[in-house]
Amino acid sequence: MAINADEFRAAMGAWPSGVTIITARAGDKLHGMTVSDFSGASLDPPLALVCASKNSHTTEMIQEGENFGVNVLRVEQDGLSNKFASKKDEWSRFEGVETFEGKTGAPLLRDALVNLDCRLVAVHDAGDHVLCVGEIESATVNDGAPLLYFRGGYGRFEPKG
């Protein structure tokens, strides 16, 4: 018998992860959401994988616009993470947030630690989520420390040396 949702949430909460905001554009509509379920999937070709809720408007935009941005957040961007995670004022998440447009048309967050501009190449069903696979068209890496998420709270990582 499989574990229940609470057991799964507790188990995954013990896995520290980086925090990203996944952004997408479909025509003149923008949307974004906070996601910790992201990873690199392939070096050749360069692919990124995002696990996205089937109920999310961002997921709908990713599929409609066939693009997404992965914006890895800096340690001081926990407020931005909360803004894009909240369902309140969901359609105004980009207000006051500086972005630039990637090659794919995806909106990318100006002050993120990393920006990956991805062209959607595959979508796979995965229970109440879908796995969105994107070929990385461009990448920007900036200085700073990453925002981490662990057991329901934010933290930081400082490399040795």
Residues 45-56 have pLDDT tens digits of 999 999 999 999
Half-sphere exposure of 142 (CA within 13 A, CB side): 16
- Residue 50: the pLDDT is 97
Minimum mean pLDDT range among 28-32, 49-53, 88-92: 88-92
- Residue 9: the pLDDT is 85
Range of the domain at 23: 18-144
pTM of the model: 0.93
Total domains, the chain: 1
- Residue 112: the pLDDT is 98
Per-residue pLDDT at 133 exceeds 90: yes
Q: Is residue 47 in a domain?
A: yes
* Polymer length in residues for the chain: 161
SS3 149: strand
The answer to whether the Cα torsion of 130, 41, 74, 111 is positive or negative is negative
Per-residue pLDDT at 72 exceeds 90: yes
Distance between CA atoms of 22 and 39, rounded to whole angstroms? 12
- Residue 132: the pLDDT is 98
Q: Is residue 66 in a domain?
A: yes
Which is it for strands 147-150 and 129-141: parallel, antiparallel or unpaired?
unpaired
Over residues 22-39, mean pLDDT: 94
Q: Which residue in this structure is represented by tokens 């996944």? A: 22
Per-residue pLDDT at 103 exceeds 80: yes
The CATH number given to whatever domain includes residue 30 is 2.30.110.10
Q: Is residue 13 in a domain?
A: no
Q: Is residue 160 in a domain?
A: no
